[in-house]
Amino acid sequence: MEDKETRQILENIADELRQRKDLSDMDDDFLLAQVEKEVLAHPILSFGKMNEKALWIDQVYAEIRGYGVLDYYLENPKITEIMVNAYNEIFYEEKGRIFKGDRVFPSKKRLIDIIQKIVSDSGKEVNQRKPICDCRMKDGSRVNVVLEPITARSPVLTIRRFSDSFYDLEDLVSNRTLSREAADFLDACIKAKSNIFISGSTGSGKTTLLNALAGQIPEDERLITIEDARELNFGLRENWLALEARAPTVKGQGGVDIRDLIRASLRMRPDRIIVGEVRGKEAIDMLQAMNTGHDGSLSTGHANSIEDMQFRLETMVIGGHEGLPLQAIRQQIGAAIEIFVHLSRMPDHSRKLVEIKELVAEDGKLTYHSLFHKSWKDPMDQPAQWTGAHLTRKDKFLREGVASPLLG
C-alpha cells in the first residue's frame, strides 16, 4: 500500500469521525477508543502490521485532537524550529542543523486547517484580509504564519520552539559558547549593574545568553521582561513580570506594541528592565529606560557586528524621531549602554561569543574598547578570549563593590 494512499485513508477516517460525532467534549480515552475501532475495522488498514496499526491510530488521533503531523516534530525535544514551506515540504532544525522532514501533511487543505487551529487557539485570526500573523502555541512556542498570495505557492508556517529548560552561564562555558573568563566578567557586569546589549544574527544564541545573564540577577530585585513573543524563561523566579506585545485587530484596534510596554513598565517600579529584542522605534524608549535609573538592564538586536548594531540603533531612533540630531542619539547610546556583546554562528553550526567591547563616549564620539575577541584564525571551538585590556568605565563596579581582573 502506497504512503499517499495510506495518508488519504487516515484523513478520511478523521473527517468521518468529525462529521459523525461531536468531538469537542469527548473524553480523550473514549476518542482514542473510537479511532482504534475505525482503524482496525478498515478493510485495507486491518491487514497492516501491529506497529503500523499503532502508528496509524496515533496519526488519526493527532489529526483530530492535536496538530496532525506537526505533533511528530513537536514531540521531539531536540527540534528547536519547524519550518513548513508547503503541505508536502517540511524542514526542521536540530542541534543547529537543518534537515528535511520525512513526514508531511496529506493535503494543502489539512495544512490550512492546522494553521487555523493554531491561530484560533491563541485567540487570534489570520485570513485574506490579514494574511500575516504572529502568535504563540499553548506550550509557549512562537508561531509565524504567512498566507497566499503573500507567499507564492502555499501558506507558510514557522514554529520556534519554547523550552521549559534553559542554559545558565556554567552550561555555556561547558559547551564552549563562552570562555570561563568571559562568563566571570559578564557575571560581574550583572552584579555591577552594567547595561548590556547583545547583538548577533538569527539563531546565534542571543536569547540563550540573555536568559543566562538574567538568571544571575539577584532574586530580591524586581525584574520586568518585554517581548514581542515570549521566549525568556526564569523558572520559579518570584518577583518577575513578563509583558508581551499584542497585534491590533483587523480594524486596527487593541494593539499594544513594545513602546507601550516599555512606558508602562516604568510605572511598575522595576529594578531592571529586559527588552527581548529591539527592532524599531522602541529603541529610543529602551535607551531612555536605561538612562533613567534602571541600571543593569539588558536587550538584544540583530546585527553583523557591534559597530553595525550601533548604526542600526541610530537608524531605529531616527525612524521614530525624525529631525533628532545624530550627535544627540549617540549621546543617548553612549550614556545608556556600557557593554556590547556579539555572538555568531560558526561554520560547524556551533554558537560562539566572538566579541565583548566596552562603549566609551569621548568628545561627542563613540569609540569601542575591545575586552574579549575571537579571531577567525583561532580554533573553531574556541570562543572569544580576554585581550588583556582593562575597563575604563569602572564607576558601577566600584560603587557596587564588585571585583574583576578587568578593573586592573
pLDDT tens, residue by residue, 230-286 = 778 887 788 999 998 887 776 777 889 899 999 999 999 999 999 989 998 899 989
Q: Between the CA of residue 66 and those of 11, 83, 121, 343, what are the distances in Å? A: 13, 18, 11, 36
pLDDT in tens, 203-214: 899 999 999 999
Mean pLDDT of 100-117: 89
String of DSSP letters for 135-189: EE-TTS-EEEEE-TTTSSSS-EEEEE---S----HHHHHHTTSS-HHHHHHHHHH
Residue (of 150, 111, 107, 161) closest to 128 by Cα position: 150
Residue 192 has pLDDT above 60, yes or no: yes
The per-residue pLDDT for range 356-369, each reduced to its tens digit, is 999 998 877 899 99
Residue listed under C-alpha cell 542600526: 312
144-159 tens-digit pLDDT: 999 999 998 899 999 9
**Which has more confidence, 186 or 276?**
186
Q: What distance in Å separates the CA atoms of residue 253 and residue 317, rounded to the nearest whole number? A: 25
Per-residue pLDDT, 1: 44
Q: What is the pLDDT of residues 280-314, one digit of tens each?
A: 889 998 998 888 778 999 999 999 999 999 999 99
Q: Where are the alpha helices (DSSP H) in 21-139?
A: 28-41, 50-65, 70-74, 108-121
CATH of domain 67-162: 3.30.450.370
Task: Scan for cell 580576554, then name that residue.
Answer: 386
**pLDDT score recorded for residue 250:** 66
Alpha-carbon gap, residue 182 to 352, rounded angstroms: 11
Domain(s) labelled CATH 3.40.50.300 in the chain stretch across: 169-407
pLDDT reading at 121 higher than 90 = no
The CATH code for residues 169-407 is 3.40.50.300
| Stretch(es) of the chain classified as CATH 3.30.450.370 | 67-162
d(CA 305, CA 177) in angstroms, rounded, equals 17
Closest CA to 231 of 240, 242, 241, 221: 242
Where is mean pLDDT largest: 56-65, 158-167, 188-197? 188-197
Q: How far is CA 142 from CA 4, 51, 360, in A?
A: 30, 33, 36
pLDDT in tens, 318-372: 987 777 898 889 999 999 999 999 999 998 888 999 999 999 988 778 999 999 9
Contact 179, 197 (CB under 8 A): no
pTM of the model: 0.79
* Cα–Cα dist 341/204, whole Å: 12
